Amino acid sequence: YPAYFARHYAAAAPAVTFLGAVSEEKLNELYQTCDLFVAPSLYESFGLIYLEAMNYAKPVIGCQAGGIPEVVDDGVTGRLVEPAAAPALAEAMVELLSSPALLREMGLAGRRRLLERFTHVQMARGFETIYRAVLALPAGGN
């Protein structure tokens, strides 16, 4: 990926820096120091990266695609935009970055959402419920 980005997005430099793979320590530092987490992914099956940002009380911006809307509460913990809609993505970024109060409010709401719905214990309980329901089905049944 780094070579691809270097070739195709050189015009974005120096405003955008592609870091490539980073250590866990560096990733924690980046989450701590950023104002906003933006990942306009089109193919997330589950929004773990958004939860990581929410753990640091950072507001998030993602696409209305895949499992992202299950994690990001649009207008509460961040913003969701249509996939591949660059103007909407830019508008959402400007909206949040223009308001320190909104950044703080959405970041704290994201942290609350993480603690209320997505802790390891809550996720394990959810899986346990699913497994118990499957195990209760008759063998060979649908």
More confident residue, 46 or 63: 63
| Tokens 């980046």 -> residue | 30
Average pLDDT of the segment spanning 117-128: 90
Rounded Cα–Cα distance for residues 77 and 71 (Å): 9
> What average pLDDT does this structure show over 104-118?
97
pLDDT at 141: 59
The C-alpha angle 7, 30, 12, rounded to 5 degrees, equals 25
Stretch 31-51: mean pLDDT, rounded?
92
Share of the chain above pLDDT 90, in %: 74
For 22-114, CATH gives 3.40.50.2000
Spacing of C-alpha 96 from chain mean position: 15
Residue 107 CB-density burial (10 A; 0-12 exposed, 13-18 middle, 19+ buried): buried
Mean pLDDT score across all residues of the chain:
91
Closest CA to 119 of 30, 27, 55: 55
Sheet holding 78-81, edge to edge: 37-38, 60-63, 78-81
* Domain locations in the chain as residue ranges: 22-114
Average pLDDT score over residue span 73-82 = 98
- pLDDT at residue 142 is higher than 90: no
Q: What mean pLDDT comes out for the span 50-60?
A: 97
What pLDDT sits at residue 14?
75
Q: What is the mean pLDDT of residues 42-63?
A: 94
